[in-house]
Amino acid sequence: MKNRVAEHRKKLGLSQDRLAQKLDVSRQTIISIEKGRYSPSLPLAFQLAKTFGVTIETLFIYEGEED
């Protein structure tokens, strides 16, 4: 799954560490999400979207198998 977390984080002028603090997760979690190595839980995805003022669909792009 692709995402725009880094893009939105930078728009708000937040460091990875500061975003992690706001969401009560580790900096490593933010790094892993931004690099696409970790898909966040639904509650965390909602928190991220709310923090950035966007919808989950705007923030995360599902690239599932095409039929």
Q: What is the CATH number of the domain that holds 29?
A: 1.10.260.40
| Mean pLDDT of the chain, nearest integer | 94
Specify if 40 maps to a domain.
Answer: yes
pTM confidence score: 0.88
29: domain range?
2-61
DSSP state string for the chain? -EE-HHHHHHHTT--HHHHHHHHTS-HHHHHHHHTTS-PPPHHHHHHHHHHHTS-HHHHEE------
**Is residue 6 in a domain?**
yes
Does a structural domain hold residue 67?
no
Count of structural domains within the chain: 1
d(CA 37, CA 44): 15
pLDDT band at residue 66 using 50, 70 and 90 as cut-offs: low
Question: Is the residue at 66 inside a domain?
Answer: no
